Copies of this chain bind each other. A is one copy, B any other.
Amino acid sequence: MGASEHDIGDDTLCPIAHSTGLVGDRWSILIVRELLLGQSRFQDLQAQTGATSQMLAARLKRLEADGLVERHAYLERPPRHEYRLTPKGRHLMPVILALRTWGEQWCKPQGQQPATRMFHRACGSELELDGKCPACGGLVAWTEMSGQPSQAWAEERARRAAEFTDHRRAATSPSAEPEQ
């Protein structure tokens, strides 16, 4: 027990087939993104990814079984957990960064500034989208970067969190909706 792997992409030498077998879907990727951003609680993951609770629960279970995520109890007596990436999960950072670069370059209205600014820790310069350091003149390894969300994106995330809580409240309380 412990051997899991919903064997998709096994039986091939192609590493990409293996990878997509574990994280080849939208929700897994968004969850890993959130965990890399430092979120760890169920609720926050749900609010920021937009997944349904059952989808999130199922994916977290699978990610844990595949060794990307660890569940830590931070409260015993109503059982409460936080979710953290394992080293295996954390090493998905380059994939996330590559998706970021592509998304910024090809999927957004041009001229819009990136959601996250990345910096070269060694010299403090802001990195270009492709990971080059304008000061050092070369590509920077992901382990040498740190990121900071833009004002606009931070606000979007705060709004999402707030809306999620509201939604919750509305669904629970049988009182009249405050709309209009």
A77 at the binding interface (Cβ < 8 Å): no
List residues of chain B with CB within 8 A of the CB of A19.
99-100, 102-103, 107
Chain copies in the assembled complex:
2
What is the number of residues of chain A that contact chain B, defined by CB distance less than 8 Å?
Answer: 50
Residue-wise, chain A 69-88 has the 8 Å CB interface mask toward B (1 for contact) of 00000000000000000001
A24 at the binding interface (Cβ < 8 Å): yes
List residues of chain B with CB within 8 A of the CB of A103.
14-19
A18 to B100, CA, bound (A): 9
Interface centre among A8, A29, A103 (most CB of B within 10 A): A103
- CB–CB A15/B91 < 8 A: no
A108 to B107, CA, bound (A): 32
Which of A39-47, A119-127, A148-156 lies at the binding interface?
Answer: A148-156
With A15-B100, A15-B115, A16-B99 already in contact, the answer to whether A25 and B25 are too (CB < 8 A) is: yes
- CB–CB B115/A91 < 8 A: no
Q: Select which of B20, B88, B108, B153 is within 8 A of A29 by beta carbon.
A: B20
Offer 9 A-B interface pairs, CB within 8 angstroms, sorted by A: A13-B112, A14-B115, A15-B102, A16-B99, A18-B103, A20-B99, A24-B29, A91-B105, A95-B99
Hey, which bits of chain A sit against chain B, CB under 8 A?
8-9, 12-22, 24-26, 29-30, 33, 88, 91-92, 94-108, 112, 114-115, 130-131, 138-141, 150, 152-153, 156
